[in-house]
Amino acid sequence: MPPLEIKKDIYWVGAIDWDIRDFHGYSTYKGSTYNSYLILDEKVTLFDTVKKYLKSDLMHNIRKVIDPAKIDYVVINHVEMDHTGCLPEVLDIIKPEKVFCSTMGKKNLLDHFHREDWPYEVVKSGDSISLGKRSVQFLETRMLHWPDSMFSYIPEEKLLISSDAFGQHWATSERFDDEVNFSELIQHSAKYYANILLLYSPLVQKLLASVKDMGIEIDMIAPDHGLIWRKNVGAILDAYDRWSKHEAKRKAIVVYDTMWHSTEMMAKAIVDGLISEGISTQLIDLKVTHRSDVVTEALDAKALVFGSSTLNNGILPAMADVLTYIKGLKPGNKIGAAFGSYGWSGEAVKIINGYLEQMKVELVDPGLRVKFVPDHDSLKKCVDLGKKIGQVIKERVPE
């Protein structure tokens, strides 16, 4: 995609990764973009780069705007390789006067590329540099989502270049939020938050508060992935506020894997109980659902209900995958329960309960085990478990 002027003399010069479907274990059904921004001023400045294999797209776009050798400054807001993979080759061409990064950014760049000779200039929160007509203020955002992460804010333009925050994995020919379907955009944003930022929610809360305190004006947020926010800046900030407060709806997810359909029968009966209490419910079969979609559905759910058959005295591997993944992302403010069919030993429920306790999910029931194939009475107990969970949701979540 050719460069696009997003504000006077400020260009998107990134690359679109139409084909990527697995982003380090995060399913990207609609690809992604790696956004890079170029400001033409007395000091020509490039913000962030792209993946190694898309270097030619970036350089082609830069050349359409300006001779790359005329770039004076390169700002690295985040060291992860989707934004720096091509950096050694790009810096060899550009030969910038300075490479701006955070303290941890310099450390992490050295640990990735082992280049002591680059002209690093370490900046801290509150530091400002002049580009001529414009300036750049830096705001360190450690652990959002790496120790090196920072924002670059251009006050004269009310433009926030926000690194990975507010991004989405979505490959489009459009570059602005108001040019695409809004509900799909928010869905991609929610998936990004759930899979990348959820565990740092307390820091997101602090960041939103400090942005408010600083009173900085933002009329455009340019993230390093996906669409640029210009019409819905308030909406995405509000969404980040809700997600980082772990706000839940009257919603439950029932996630299961099954061997001979018995645990599946239990799952469906639990779902019936939840629905009869008026709870919005998603039944999720792990044989056909990716872990990153499970955690996206979990984001605004109040109840997480997990079921697995017992296999070899343990849980099914797909369940172990999802529980390990969700545990690491530290969902908050959830209730939950476990269930599963078994043949002789039946450890699955106990193992799932252990995960839920580690996740600080409040168990509303000790869990339900059924030997081999559930009969009518067993399924009635499953429906009752669903109702019980639904009633607790209604007690905790206002309508």
Partner 1 sequence: MDRYVCTICGYVYDPAEGDPDNGIDPDTKFEDLPDDWTCPVCGASKSDFQKE
Comparing CB distances to partner 1, the nearer of 143 and 233 is: 143
80 binds partner 1 (CB under 8 A): no
Cβ–Cβ under 8 Å, residues 225 and 232: no
Q: What is the CA radius of gyration of the chain?
A: 24
Site string for partner 1, 193-212 (x = CB under 8 A): -------x-xx---------
- Residue 355 beta carbon to partner 1: minimum distance, rounded to whole angstroms: 17
> What is the rounded distance in angstroms from the CA atom of residue 129 to the CA atom of residue 136?
5
For this structure, is 89 an active site residue?
no
Helix residue ranges, H only, the chain: 55-65, 81-84, 87-94, 103-113, 182-192, 201-214, 233-244, 262-276, 291-298, 317-329, 348-358, 376-396
Which residues between 133 and 192 bind partner 1 (CB under 8 A)?
140, 142-143, 147
Task: Give the count of alpha carbons within 13 A of 345, CB side only.
Answer: 10
Comparing CB distances to partner 1, the nearer of 60 and 142 is: 142
Find the catalytic residue in 83, 145, 169, 246. Answer: 145
For this structure, is 80 an active site residue?
yes
394 binds partner 1 (CB under 8 A): no
Comparing CB distances to partner 1, the nearer of 147 and 314 is: 147
Site string for partner 1, 94-133 (x = CB under 8 A): ----------x-----------------------------
β-strand pairing of 15-17 with 303-308: unpaired
For this structure, is 112 an active site residue?
no
For this structure, is 24 an active site residue?
yes
Q: Is the peptide bond before 145 cis (omega within 30 degrees of 0)?
A: yes
> What is the rounded distance in angstroms from the CA atom of residue 341 to the CA atom of residue 368?
8
For this structure, is 321 an active site residue?
no
Handedness of CA 347, 25, 164, 76 (dihedral sign): positive
- Residue 334 beta carbon to partner 1: minimum distance, rounded to whole angstroms: 15
> What is the rounded distance in angstroms from the CA atom of residue 61 to the CA atom of residue 15?
9
Judged by the rule CB under 8 A, the positions of this chain that interact with partner 1 are 104, 140, 142-143, 147, 200, 202-203
Active site residues: 24, 78, 80, 82, 145, 164, 192, 225
